[in-house]
Amino acid sequence: MRDINKARPSERIRFQQELIRQQDEMIDLLKGALAAAGIQVPAKPESWLSELTTQERALVGALFARFPRVVDRYDLLDALPGYSNTEDRQVQILNVVIHRIRKKLGEGAVRTERGEGFRLGQELYADLKCKAEAYNTATIAPEPRSVFG
């Protein structure tokens, strides 16, 4: 098996996305087990990225993961879902997705570093980090009980 730390950034992102998908499946299984045991699962707070499309969320996620570094355009193209054919991966697609993100989240959401690529805006990074921490805190059950006991 190949060392993921030595893989290209796009391969690491795909690996992380697959890991997240598997973890989501495990969470669904555990929620089912909790419900079967009569333990109420806390309601999921409203998603703070629900207004973004899958492509926009993937791009924001790729920029968030590498903050504060600049991310090359072609690495960001690799992070976009739905474009497995390299001929389809045009820089114009990236520009359109970034334009839509800026329209929804504000001009400062994604910063252009001329000749280098893009980086997530400082304010959006701080907001996303704060909301992610709040979400993680809200999903912790106050009194965990055993499913098996």
Distance in angstroms (rounded) separating the CA atoms of residues 96 and 94: 5
- Those residues whose C-beta lies under 8 Å from the C-beta of residue 106, and which sit 6 or more positions away, are 121, 123, 124
Q: Out of 1.20.810.10, 3.20.20.150, 3.40.50.300, 1.10.10.10, select the CATH number for domain 4-138.
A: 1.10.10.10
pTM recorded for the entire structure: 0.59
Write the pLDDT tens digit of every residue in 2-13: 666 677 777 878
Average pLDDT of span 12-22: 82
